[in-house]
Amino acid sequence: MGRIIEEIYVWRLPVRFYHWINALCMVALFATGMYIAAPVLNPALGEAVWHKGMGWWRYLHFAFAFIFIANFLFRLYWALFGGDKYARFGGFRPWSAAWWGKPFREQVESYLFLRSDEPNYVGHNPVAALAHFIFIFCGSTFMIFSGLAMYGENNPGGFNSAWFGWLIPLFGGSYSLHFTHHLFAWIFPVYVIMHLYAVFRHDIVDRTSVTSSIITGYKHKVEEEPG
């Protein structure tokens, strides 16, 4: 293993907090959501007044959902106004042809083993940025909007029903919206697998300590050793 030649402070504390709160919420929301869809535990016979089974699972789902939303909004704020070079949206411009140009192509080629060298980025590489945009930004936005629309069904005419209820006719009814929300929940475990794999692989191939960087905040550059 080569000598560490540089330490770079990449993930500042707010970004690390966001990451871990988001991870916790994603796991909790997926687990509670799946339980709500298929409640497997059944209490022994008795009076309903002694049990809160489903009520608690739903309560947890909603509680984690509001933490998730607040965390998501904070991350948007941080990206737009945080002045954090590695956490902003500035570099991500998929609407311009230039963004899909050389750097993106090189990164894709590297992932497809079409080139032997790994382009090295301190922050996110262009492919990672695109994945985060699709799974985390678009995915979370859809889950938040559809979730609030369904939450608003508890209180017709209330805030959530007024602001997000339009999704129900858009998806052709409450049932279809519930179903789509349930289906799209699966993008998160798919994302987690790809994310973990990519992080571990980059850590092994590039030796940048990317895995520990989300705890410590520091990435490392190591001296290339002649093999």
Partner 1 sequence: MQSNQTFADLFRSRGVSRRDFLKFCSLTAVYLGLSPSLAPSIVEAMENKPRTPVLWIHGLECTCCSESFIRSSHPTIENLLFNMISLDYDDVLSAAAGHQLEAVRKKIMKDYKGKYILAVEGNVSTRDDGVYCMVGGDSFLNILKETAADAAAIIAWGTCASFGCVQNAAPNPSGAAPVSDIIKDKPIVKVPGCPPISEVMTGVIAHFHTFGTLPELDRFGRPKAFYNTRIHDKCYRRAFFDAGMFVTSFDDEATRKGWCLYKMGCKGPTTYNSCSKIQWNGGTSFPIGSGHPCIGCSEPNFWDKGPFYGRLAEVPFLGSDSNADKIGMVAVGAAAVGAAAHAAVTAVQKAKSDKPGNDKA
Q: Which positions lie near partner 1, rule CB under 8 A?
A: 34, 37-39, 41-43, 45, 48-55, 57, 111, 113, 116-117, 153-154, 156-157, 165-166, 168-169, 172-176, 178-179, 182-183, 185-187, 189-190, 193-194, 197, 201, 204-205, 224, 226-227
Separation of first and last alpha carbons in the chain:
10
Q: Least distance in Å: CB of 202 to partner 1?
A: 10
Give me the least distance between CB of 46 and partner 1, in Å please: 8
- DSSP, collapsed to helix, strand or coil, labels residue 134 as helix
Work out the number of other CB atoms within 10 angstroms of the CB of residue 86. Answer: 16
d(CA 107, CA 78) in angstroms, rounded, equals 26
Rounded least distance, CB 74 to partner 1, Å: 28
What is the bridge-based pairing of β-strands 218-222 and 4-9?
antiparallel
Nearer to partner 1, 69 or 198 (CB): 198
Residue 101 or 169: which CB sits closer to partner 1?
A: 169
Please state the closest distance from residue 211 (CB atom) to partner 1, in A: 15
Q: Are 95 and 89 in contact (CB under 8 A)?
A: no
> 221 with 6: CB under 8 angstroms?
yes
Minimum distance, C-beta of residue 39 to partner 1, in the bound complex (Å) = 6
> How is the chain split among helix, strand and coil, in percent rounded to 5?
65, 5, 30
When the beta carbons of 70 and 205 are compared against partner 1, the nearer one is 205
Give me the least distance between CB of 12 and partner 1, in Å please: 29
Q: Which residue has the tokens 């940048």?
A: 208
Instruction: Say how far apart CA 95 and CA 92 lie, in whole Å.
Output: 9
Can you tell me which residue has the tokens 């919206």?
177
